[in-house]
Amino acid sequence: MDGEGGVRGLGRRLKFKKRYLQMILEGRKRSTIRLGRLVLRDRLLTIVGDRGPIALARVDEVTYKKVRELTDEDARVDGFRGLIDLFRELRRIYGDFSLEDDVTIIRFTVLRRLDNEGQDLARLPGRGGSRGSH
């Protein structure tokens, strides 16, 4: 991916893979790092998996960095143990990328659950996201 790539708009929905939904609801994942430069149209987002919305969230901060500028703290807030785990996941989702590529860090706070309160989402069949969502 080219670090000078175009800016993409992000609607009001933020899609995540199944394995991240429970972490989001428990507050262990409070950000997402997406390859490219995303512009948010709204500060309120619906967090969704494959089977629909699971939470309403407020965007607290949007930061743009180069991949090489990411820190272990960025990775931890995103639910990873450190940069190595984060880079491994980014490579799995996006394929090859350069240290000069842009990333968008979206920090958020879950305001309200929209799923069945208290259910372990990791155990629900079909919950999750698709390629490019984490």
* Domain limits, the chain: 7-115
* pLDDT tens per residue, range 57-86: 999 999 999 999 999 999 999 999 999 999
Amino acid at 132: G
Find the angle CA(47)-CA(76)-CA(69) to the nearest 5 degrees. Answer: 100
Give the percent of the chain with pLDDT over 70: 81
Residue with tokens 């190595």: 84
Which of 10, 27, 16, 106 shows the shortest CA–CA distance to 60? 106
Domain 7-115: top CATH class: alpha beta
CA dist 69 and 104 (Å) reads: 12
Q: Is 29 left (phi over 0), alpha (psi -120 to 50) or beta?
A: beta
Whether the predicted pLDDT of 4 surpasses 50 = no
SS3 8: strand
